[in-house]
Every structure is written in structure tokens, then in C-alpha cells.
């Protein structure tokens, strides 16, 4: 027999051959994957149509034909599912899911399989086969959060007293804080007296503050008549502050008429400022009109400055007529300047027409400058046309330079508040040099294209040398190359040394290539 002779291929031909083989292999794999995907989608279509027999046959064929497909685990899950839907033996269905879980522990379908298995187990237990229930409850003793969660979801869907007992028992035997927290919310959805009592115990005794707070919020979901009373008991109980605060916020979310005076009393009288403030904020969450009156009472009767401030800002967030009147009264007459100022600022958060007259009165009659300034800033914060008109009038006509300048700052919050024409009008009309300068600086800080022409006019035409210098510096504040020719001209031809020096400094402030070129030109001449 002749021995075969090995004939080496040229290198390029060998590489080409290998490449062709790889390409063909990938092509074959791609065709197989495409066929696998189509087969799976066809079988899954029967699930959507609830054609359980067709689905079972199709998934069985899929697994036999494509044993290496990435969808085999899903097909195995659906086989168990179809057996359940077809009414096959529940014992067999249980074992099908159990085998699936063990075979594919990382499958995304495991949680669904566990949940379905728990449902089957409890149904079997009702039919006189308690060993299946015992097998499921045994899962709860393991440190397997996924299993516990699946059991929880399944039990919650049953909605029976037996299910509630099982959920409570699961809580009692669970060490994981994370799982206890999940169990708490499931109990909250049970809407049973037994569940409510358990949540009260958890809120007071669980070693985790988070779980205790979760129990409070879950208790709110109960929706029973006893819920409000239970939450009030928690507020009064000698337990952790954070849990009591959670109970206060939950009461605010309930928002019944009986809740309002209770929250008001806590806010006015509790010695713990944190609790009193929580009660105050909780009042703001209620829809009851009486809440605004209760907040007004807190303003007058609370001995804590921090609680009174909380009442102010809560009133500001409510924004009703009672709130506006109360904030105005506080700003004008309270003996504490901090509260007066805070009340003026709180009014600026309310988008109601009645706010503007209230702020005007505070700006005119406020007991101190800080409160009057706060009223002006709040006026600007409203952004309303009437506010803009008032601020312009204040900037032009108020004899107090600080108040007039504050009105200019506040204009910046209004629409078109940086309009150079508007600010230039203030420059022309104000009798106070400081105010006129401030208006020019605001023009310089504006991005409006008209800013440079407005400042150029003042720097060249105004009869007040100080204002001319201020206009030059404002031109430098624009930072724009468009101001460079104007400043260069002033630096060379300005009426006095001070004005020319200001122009040079302004060019340096702009600092662009064009400004540097202008400075070099000035040096050469």
C-alpha cells in the first residue's frame, strides 16, 4: 500500500482555506440559530393562544431537535407550564418544576417556576397531601432569598387566612433584613386584622429600623378603619424617633379630618423638634382646608423657631388663600426678624395673583431691610408682569439705594429682566448714582446684543464722569470682542486720564486675542 505524501499548501492558500472553513462554519451556525429561533417562536405562539397541547408537542420537538439552543431552559419551563394548564397530575407538575429548578438554577425562569411550584404545593395540601406544603415551608428555612420571595408572591396571590398565617410565620423565621422588609409589604397588602396587628408588632419590635419603618408604611396600605388609630398609637409610643416620624408622614398621607388636629397638636406641643417638624410637614400633604389653619396656629403657638419656619415653608407649598394671608401677616408683624424674612421668601413660591399685592405691602411696610429685600426677591421669583413693573418702579423711585439696587438684582429673575433697554431706562431715571451704576453692571452681565451699544452710549454721552467710568468697566464685563473697538477708542481719546485707564483695564479684563492686539496698538502709539 502506497503511503500518502503530504504536500504543503502555499501559505496564502492555506490561510484562505482556513478562512473559508471558518466562514462556512459560522454560516452553518447562523442558519441553525435562525431555524432554532423560528421553532421557539412558533411554539411560544401556542402559549399565547393558550393551545396547550400544541405548545407541549412543539416544545418537546424543539428540545429534541435543538438540544444545544440557548432557549432550551425556557422550553423546559414551558413544558412544565403546559402540563399544569392541561390538568395533568399535580404531583407530576410539582416534580417537573422541581427538576427544572435543579437542572437550570441560573435560568431567568427559575423564579416563575418556584412561584408556580408553591401554588401547586398549597393546592395539594388543601387536598389532603400536607407533605407538599412541608416541602415548600422547608425552603423558608434555607438562606435562599429567591425561593422565599417566590413563595411570598405565590402566598400573597392566594389571599386567604391560611396564606396570611404562612406569610407571618415566614417573617418570624427569617433572619435576613432584606427579606423581612419584603415580607412586611406583602403583609400590608393582605388587608386583614391579623396582618395589621402583626405590622404593629413589627413596627415596635423588629431589630431593624428600616424594617420597622417599612412596617409603618405597609400599615398605611391596609386601608382599614383601625389604621389611623394604629398610626396615632405609634406616634405616642416610646419607640425610635424615625419610626414615629414615619407614622406621622403616613398620617399625613391618609389626610382625614381627624388627622389634621392630631398632627397640629404634635407640631405645637412635642418637645422633640424633629417630630414636631415632621408633623408640620405631614400637614402639608393633606388635602383638607383645615390644614392651613392648623399651620397658621403652629406659627403663632409653637415655641420652636425651627418648627415655625417649617410651618412657613409648608404654607408656601400649599399656596391657598389662607396660606397667603398667614404668610403676609407673619412677614409684617412677627417679632422674630428671621421668621419675617422666611415668610416673605415663602410667598415667592406661590403662583397666585394674590401674592403680588401681599409682597408689595411687605416691601413697603416690612419691619426691617432684610424682610423688604426678601419681598423684592420673591417678587422677581414670581416672574409675573406686575412684579416686573413694581421692581422697575422701586429701582427708579425708592430713596434707599440698597432697596433700589435689590430691585435691580430681583429683576434678573423676571422674563426680560436683563433687557438693556429696560436697564438703560433705569440708568436715565434713577437719581441715585449707586443705583445707576448697578443697572449698568447688570447690562454688562447681560448676553443681549444690545448691551454693548447701550453701554457705549453712556460711556460717551453721560455728563457724570463716574457713570462714564462705570460704563467702561461694564463693557469689560461683557467679555465680548464687539466691545474692543469702543474701549480702544476710549483708551486713546477719552476725556480724562481716569476714563482712559479704565478702558485699558477693561480691555485686559476681556483678554481675547483682539483685546490683546488693541493693547499692543495702544502701547505703540
Q: Which residues contact 284 (CB under 8 A, 6 or more apart)?
A: 252, 291, 295, 314, 315, 317, 318
Give the residue numbers spanning the domain of 486.
Answer: 432-525
Whether 404 and 430 have beta carbons less than 8 Å apart is answered as: yes
**Cell for 171?**
417573617
Residue 248 lies in a domain: no
Residue 171 lies in a domain: no
DSSP strand E in 157-260: where?
A: none
Percent of the chain residues topping a pLDDT of 70: 87
How do residues 75-89 score in pLDDT, each as one tens digit?
Answer: 999 999 999 999 999
How do residues 289-348 score in pLDDT, each as one tens digit?
Answer: 899 999 999 999 999 999 999 999 999 998 889 999 999 999 999 999 999 999 999 999
Report the Cα 417 to chain-centroid distance in Å.
Answer: 30
Could you give the dihedral angle defined by the CA atoms of residues 468, 469, 471 and 473, in that order, rounded to the nearest 10 degrees?
170
pLDDT band at 258 (very low <50, low <70, confident <90, very high): confident
Inform me whether the pLDDT recorded for 389 exceeds 50: yes
In total, how many domains does the chain have? 1
Cite the DSSP H helix spans in 445-512: 450-461, 465-478, 484-493, 497-510
Residue 503 lies in a domain: yes
Per-residue pLDDT at 160 = 66
Residue 194 lies in a domain: no
Sign of the CA dihedral 440, 443, 444, 450? negative
Residue 453 lies in a domain: yes
Per-residue pLDDT at 28 = 43
Residue 495 lies in a domain: yes
What are the phi and psi torsion angles at 5 (to 5°)?
A: -100, 130
> Which CATH number belongs to the domain containing residue 487 in this structure?
1.25.10.10
Residue 268 lies in a domain: no
**Cell for 92?**
407530576
pTM beyond 0.85: the answer is no
H/E stretch holding 386 reads helix 385-397
H/E stretch holding 205 reads helix 193-205
Q: Which residues contact 13 (CB under 8 A, 6 or more apart)?
A: none
Residue 504 lies in a domain: yes
Q: Rounded CA gap, 399 and 48, in Å?
A: 79
Q: Rounded CA gap, 462 and 495, in Å?
A: 12
What are the phi and psi torsion angles at 240 (to 5°)?
A: -60, 140
Amino acid at each position: 500500500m502506497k503511503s500518502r505524501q503530504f504536500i504543503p499548501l502555499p501559505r496564502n492558500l492555506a490561510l484562505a482555506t482556513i478562512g473559508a472553513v471558518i466562514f462556512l462554519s459560522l454560516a452553518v451556525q447562523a442558519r441553525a440559530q435562525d431555524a432554532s429561533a423560528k421553532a421557539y417562536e412558533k411554539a411560544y405562539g401556542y402559549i399565547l393562544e393558550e393551545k396547550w397541547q400544541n405548545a407541549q408537542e412543539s416544545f418537546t420537538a424543539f428540545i429534541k431537535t435543538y438540544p444545544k439552543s440557548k432557549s432550551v431552559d425556557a422550553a423546559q419551563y414551558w413544558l412544565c407550564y403546559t402540563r399544569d394548564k392541561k390538568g395533568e397530575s399535580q404531583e407530576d407538575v410539582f416534580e417537573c418544576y422541581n427538576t427544572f429548578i435543579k437542572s437550570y438554577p441560573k435560568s431567568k425562569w427559575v423564579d416563575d417556576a418556584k412561584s408556580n411550584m408553591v401554588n401547586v404545593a398549597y393546592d395539594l395540601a388543601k387536598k389532603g397531601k400536607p407533605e407538599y406544603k412541608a416541602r415548600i415551608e422547608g425552603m423558608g428555612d434555607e438562606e435562599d432569598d429567591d425561593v422565599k420571595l417566590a413563595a411570598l408572591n405565590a402566598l400573597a396571590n392566594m389571599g386567604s387566612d391560611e396564606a396570611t398565617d404562612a406569610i407571618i410565620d415566614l417573617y418570624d423565621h427569617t433572619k435576613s433584613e432584606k427579606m423581612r422588609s419584603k415580607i412586611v409589604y406583602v403583609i400590608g397588602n393582605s388587608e386583614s386584622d391579623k396582618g395589621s396587628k402583626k405590622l404593629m408588632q413589627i413596627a415596635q419590635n423588629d431589630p431593624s429600623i428600616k424594617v420597622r419603618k417599612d412596617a409603618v408604611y405597609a400599615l398605611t396600605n391596609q386601608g382599614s378603619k383601625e389604621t389611623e388609630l394604629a398610626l396615632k398609637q405609634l406616634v405616642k409610643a416610646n419607640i425610635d424617633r424615625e419610626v414615629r416620624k414615619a407614622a406621622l408622614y403616613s398620617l399625613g398621607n391618609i389626610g382625614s379630618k381627624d388627622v389634621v388636629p392630631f398632627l397640629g397638636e404634635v407640631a405645637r406641643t412635642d418637645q422633640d423638634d424633629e417630630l414636631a417638624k415632621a408633623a408640620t410637614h405631614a400637614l402639608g400633604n393633606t388635602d383638607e382646608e383645615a390644614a392651613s389653619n392648623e399651620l397658621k396656629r403652629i406659627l403663632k403657638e409653637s415655641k420652636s423657631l425651627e418648627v415655625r419656619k417649617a410651618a412657613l415653608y409648608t404654607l408656601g407649598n400649599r399656596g391657598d388663600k389662607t396660606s397667603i394671608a398667614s404668610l403676609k401677616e407673619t412677614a409684617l408683624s412677627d417679632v422674630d426678624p428671621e421668621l419675617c424674612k422666611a415668610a416673605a421668601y415663602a410667598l415667592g413660591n406661590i403662583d397666585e395673583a394674590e401674592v403680588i399685592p401681599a409682597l408689595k405691602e411687605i416691601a413697603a411696610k416690612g419691619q426691617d431691610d432684610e424682610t423688604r429685600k426678601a419681598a423684592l426677591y420673591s417678587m422677581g421669583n414670581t416672574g409675573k408682569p406686575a412684579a416686573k413693573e413694581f421692581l422697575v418702579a422701586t429701582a427708579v423711585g425708592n430713596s434707599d439705594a440698597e432697596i433700589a439696587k435689590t430691585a435691580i438684582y430681583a429683576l434678573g429673575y423676571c422674563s426680560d429682566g436683563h433687557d438693556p433697554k429696560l436697564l438703560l431706562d433705569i440708568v436715565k431715571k434713577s437719581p441715585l448714582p449707586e443705583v445707576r451704576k448697578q443697572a449698568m453692571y447688570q447690562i454688562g452681565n447681560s448676553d443681549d446684543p444690545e448691551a454693548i451699544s447701550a453701554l457705549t452710549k453712556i460711556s460717551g454721552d453721560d455728563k457724570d464722569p463716574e457713570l462714564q467710568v462705570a460704563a467702561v468697566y461694564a463693557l469689560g464685563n461683557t467679555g465680548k470682542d464687539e466691545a474692543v473697538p469702543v474701549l480702544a477708542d476710549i483708551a486713546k481719546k477719552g476725556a480724562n486720564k481716569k476714563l482712559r485707564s479704565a478702558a485699558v483695564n477693561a480691555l485686559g479684563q476681556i483678554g481675547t486675542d483682539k483685546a490683546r492686539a488693541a493693547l499692543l496698538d495702544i502701547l505703540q502709539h
